Chains A and B, each alone.
Chain A
Amino acid sequence: MSENHLPPAHGSAVEQPSALQPTRDPGATLPDLLEVLLNKGVHLNLDLIISVADVPLIGVNLRATIAGIETMIEYGMMRQWDDQTRAWVQRSLSRHLPMADGEEVVAAMAASHLRDDFQRIWRPGRAYLTTHRLIVHRRDPAETLWQTRLDSIASAESYTEPSVGGEDRMRLKIVLHDGSVARLSALDADRLLTLIRQQRQVPGGAQAESAAAEDQGPRMRGTMWYLETFAQGATWRGGKATLTREGMLTWKSPLDNRASLRIEPAQLKAVHLEKHSNPTSQAQVLRVETTSGEVRLAGPDLHKWHQLLHDDTESGQEVDHGAGSQ
């Protein structure tokens, strides 16, 4: 049987457009090149060899420009970093913002805190969400404008109010267990709120959206290996498979930015268990036939996955027949 999983030729080969040429123009590639040279390559970490590719020696400014450290923190990518870089960021932050042992920054962004005593003033700084605390800190002159332990937060919600300029701005209202209320604004208040809730299961406020969607969760989710096809052979890659309530099957590696596999219910044709070498201790893998080819998955609970997906193909086909008989 032919195993050409590649999508059919797009367009015909008759009028072959010229291939896109990669650029080596330093003007365009310098930041990428710097990033790669500072982060990749052989690290010699024997104790007899001093590896000073570690960042502090190179100088903070360059690092900030090339790796966009601030940006990366803002996008919450800390978790994907190697330990070295993370350690550096922790050190550089802790120079002006002391951290507890094991406390790590999850996200940081421009933010301000409303001081509401004798007069109402928004005081600008940066919000740092760590594994322990939510902090609004001003670097220069250094002052912690407001902070709380995450476990002191009773609820967190967003609301909008017109800013001084007249535009609607999203604010965060943080209610603590002691009844006190803090109001924050942040560059990306939505994301900060999501992260606060993730970091610590903080309930929403009165108008928070219903948690029904979360309650339901996916139908099945678990560790799974996916056989990815490369130019020369195929490689099993580790990750997580998810079957949603809607019947969509996805697989994502923690190293990838998005899911590599995404099979909508309508694309699912059949599933089979078959013998195939794989990284697990089991002899069988799951072969999933779709409208655009087939994929192989391996992992624990394969029979249960098979059962669920098999049921889906049956019901999917019924729908298909119905549609076809119109």
Chain B
Amino acid sequence: MSSETLYVYAIIPAGSPAPTGAGINGSQLHTVEAEPVSAVVHTHHAGPYEGPDEDVKRWVLEHSDVIEECWNQASSVLPVSFNVMVQASETSGATAAEQLRGWLQDSGQELKQRLQELAGTSELRVEIALDAAQFPQNEPEVLEATRELAGKPAGVRRLLEKRLEKVQRRLTDAGADRLYPDYRMRLAAQCQQIQDYATTQRPEGTVSVLSAACLVDSERISELGAELTQIQQEQPSARIRFLGPWPPYSFVDIDAGAGSASTPQEGKSSAET
């Protein structure tokens, strides 16, 4: 069995220049060209990357640097997940490059279409949370519970504080339910697509309203930013994280090889008159 594999970083339109920078651990990049699309790869002689967390973090960042460079150079890019490698075939004897080229040709139309759709777009991440102490501070229930605290011995206080915290969270969560539809609608108006995701990190003492990956026309990022500024001004207890711009990682939407998973263009209803 050949131990030579190809580590894949990204899919780019055919004929795009290969990135000039280095890949993971300084490895040299090249492209595997097929008709409609090409893949950016390095020749890999070992197994998948594994090791201490710090190393993996560095590799993942190096991986993302390559995608960034492709994104800056080519008209469009489909990022490939970390640690995806193409192997030579044991049965047919095809080399890794032949295998990959075959796959690029087979999935080419789908990949090409998605590349076209994603051209000129960026992914931005918006996380809006509410400060659970600040948001409901004027609610009668909170004021009442706060008054009760005064002059109580420490042990009782601690208990009452716990209770107050619960009330604050409940009221803030109800507030988040009320605010979500408005925020979602206003962000959607600035985006081509939106995808909610589960927040992996939530600042202490806040309740998440909305965490969304936004696919945005790269020229219109500042408009999304302006909308967030508005939201911040209207809602001082909002804690907003605004990340990016990144290549459209969350919007690749392709499970290539597993049948046609491409989303039909059911949207874009032009009947909106």
Contact = CB atoms under 8 A, between A and B. Distances in A.
A96 B211 CA distance: 33
Given A24-B245, A43-B255, A58 B50 contact: yes
Interface in A1-19: 3, 5-7, 10-11, 16-19
Given A28-B243, A49-B103, A259-B180, A231 B217 contact: yes
Contacts of B14: none
Nearest to A251: B181
Nearest to B255: A43
B242 A52 contact: no
A168 interface: yes
A256 B211 CA distance: 9
Nearest to A255: B196
Contacts of B224: 19
B225 interface: yes
Interface stretch (B18-26, B130-138, B139-147, B229-237): B229-237
B109 interface: no
Which of the four size classes fits the interface of chain B? 35 or more
A17 B249 CA distance: 30
Interface string A154-169: 0000000000001110
Interface in A138-186: 166-168
Given A34-B60, A80-B198, A6 B249 contact: no
Contact of B269 (A3, A26, A50, A233): A233
Given A10-B234, A57-B83, A257-B208, A68 B188 contact: no
A320 B82 CA distance: 58
B150 interface: no
Contact of A23 (B56, B178, B243): B243
A65 B57 CA distance: 11
A272 interface: no
A6 B103 contact: no
A260 interface: yes
Contacts of B11: 42
Nearest to B114: A42
Contacts, number: 259
Contacts of A22: 124, 221, 225, 242-245
Interface in B186-202: 186, 188-196, 198, 200-201
A232 B121 CA distance: 13
Contacts of B266: 235-236, 279
Given A49-B99, A50-B87, A262 B244 contact: no
B84 A53 contact: yes
Contacts of B192: 230-232
Contact of A233 (B78, B176, B185, B267): B267
A123 B4 CA distance: 52
A46 B103 contact: yes
A30 B57 contact: yes
Given A59-B56, A259-B181, A231 B189 contact: yes
B191 A231 contact: yes
Q: Is the interface of A mostly helix, strand, loop or mixed?
A: loop
A257 B200 contact: no
B79 A48 contact: no
A21 B242 contact: yes
A319 interface: no
Given A18-B229, A20-B226, A65-B53, A167 B272 contact: no
A99 interface: no
A71 interface: yes
Contacts of A34: 57, 60
B45 interface: no
A141 to B, nearest CB: 26
Interface string B166-187: 0000000000111011101110
B81 A39 contact: yes
A29 interface: yes
A7 B186 contact: yes
22 contacts: A3-B273, A19-B224, A19-B229, A23-B242, A23-B243, A24-B246, A37-B79, A38-B82, A40-B81, A40-B250, A43-B81, A44-B256, A48-B89, A49-B100, A50-B5, A57-B48, A59-B56, A75-B198, A228-B185, A236-B266, A257-B196, A257-B208
The 4 A-B pairs with the shortest beta carbon distances in the complex, nearest first, are A235-B267, A19-B225, A53-B81, A19-B226
Interface of A: 3, 5-7, 10-11, 16-24, 26, 28-46, 48-53, 57-59, 61-62, 65-68, 71-72, 75, 77, 80, 166-168, 227-236, 255-262, 276-277, 279
Interface of B: 5, 8, 11, 47-53, 56-57, 60-61, 63-64, 78-87, 89, 99-100, 102-103, 111, 124-125, 155, 158-159, 176-178, 180-182, 184-186, 188-196, 198, 200-201, 208-211, 213, 216-217, 220-226, 228-230, 232-234, 240-246, 249-250, 252, 254-258, 266-273
